[in-house]
Chain A
Amino acid sequence: MDHGYQQHTNTNAHLEYQSGQGRLNILGFWVFLGAEVALFSTLFATYFVLMHRTANGPVSSELFQVPSVLIMTFLLLTSSFTCGLAIHEMRRSNLKGVIIWLVVTLLLGAGFLGFEIKEFIEYTHEGVTLSTSAYWSAFFVLTGTHGLHVTLGLGWIILIMIQLKQRGLTPTTTSKVFISSLYWHFLDVVWIFIFTGVYLIGMVMHHG
């Protein structure tokens, strides 16, 4: 073969890995996730450094609520699971199954987002905003950045579902589905750390 790498095809693989460009895109996305780790780490670092700097304002344990955080956590965790099932169906060449599980994933993700927005609105009513104190600035920007990622993910998956409807399962569409699934799982990974580092610790921490 004297084609560029992008054109090397390999029929002996899952659809999403069959085209050269598909393989490159998946690998590139892993690398991009590495960059995302650095991005969120910086936000976490900021959050932890500013953790006690509430400037005599409200502290986290006064506002965080276990039930709503738990619901959010399980919504996102389950959506990560259903997203994985969508990939499983994709590898069984079952387009209908892919679409169904993706829709379930989207609904769960939207539910998560709804709870997050509700939480932010409640805090605002309590008078806690981005400008309340360094601590709350860090809180809103960390969780907000994650929320923004979820929002973009929802939009992105919808776009890909349209393409699935138009074109079916091809090497190109499946690699797109696979990449968006990586993104979605990654957002759950970030949330695990927010759940642990922000909410759990924030609920029991002593404020100095």
Chain B
Amino acid sequence: MDNQKQNSSLVDNRFPWKHFVGYLLSVVLTLMALWITFSSGFSLSIIFAIIIVLAILQAVLQLLMFMHITERNSKIQTGTMLYAAFIAITIVAGSIWVMSAGHAAH
């Protein structure tokens, strides 16, 4: 297959804004999580809730800004990741619930 020649319209000569924005936001989110954990003075459960949300936001950011999830087979790719999120929540939250309820925990 000799398709090496590049289609000029596809060559991406712009400054990689997406990557920079993604990187900056990630840094900000990380620092926010740090601040909330150590300096916010919130109660523990609120801290946990907020920093977990921040982590999820950062994960979504990576998928969108760095991993090009919306390219090509975007439906299948996004579907896979959404289903994976459902499985992740089931496994983690489900296990914690089941293993800490009743006298299972003892």
Flag if B72 contacts A41 (CB, 8 Å).
no
Whole-angstrom CA separation of A185 from B76 in the bound complex: 19
Interface flags for A107-125 (1: CB within 8 Å of B; 0: not) read: 0000000000000000000
Within 177-205 of A, Cβ neighbours of B (below 8 Å) are at: 181-182, 185-186, 188-189, 192-193, 195-197, 200-201, 203-205
CB proximity of A59 to chain B, nearest CB, Å: 15
Flag if A81 contacts B22 (CB, 8 Å).
yes
Flag if B34 contacts A200 (CB, 8 Å).
yes
Judged by DSSP, the binding face of B is: helix
Flag if A41 contacts B66 (CB, 8 Å).
no
Flag if A77 contacts B51 (CB, 8 Å).
no
Given A27-B73, A204-B47, check contact A45 B34 (CB 8 Å). no
CB contact between B12 and one of A11, A45, A91, A205 (< 8 Å): that residue: A91
Flag if B44 contacts A206 (CB, 8 Å).
yes
Flag if A196 contacts B92 (CB, 8 Å).
no
Whole-angstrom CA separation of A168 from B10 in the bound complex: 18
Interface assignment of A143: CB less than 8 Å from any CB of chain B = no
Chain B residues with CB under 8 Å of A45's CB are: 91-92, 94-96
Flag if B87 contacts A9 (CB, 8 Å).
no
Chain A residues with CB under 8 Å of B5's CB are: 11
Interface flags for A14-48 (1: CB within 8 Å of B; 0: not) read: 11011100010011001101100110011011101
Given A34-B80, A92-B13, check contact A17 B72 (CB 8 Å). yes
Flag if B34 contacts A38 (CB, 8 Å).
no
CB proximity of A27 to chain B, nearest CB, Å: 5
Flag if A41 contacts B88 (CB, 8 Å).
yes
A residues apposed to B, CB below 8 Å: 7, 9, 11-15, 17-19, 23, 26-27, 30-31, 33-34, 37-38, 41-42, 44-46, 48-49, 66, 70, 73-74, 77-78, 80-81, 83-85, 87-88, 91-93, 170-171, 181-182, 185-186, 188-189, 192-193, 195-197, 200-201, 203-206
Chosen A-B contacts, 5 in total, with CB atoms closer than 8 Å, are A44-B88, A84-B66, A88-B19, A170-B4, A193-B59
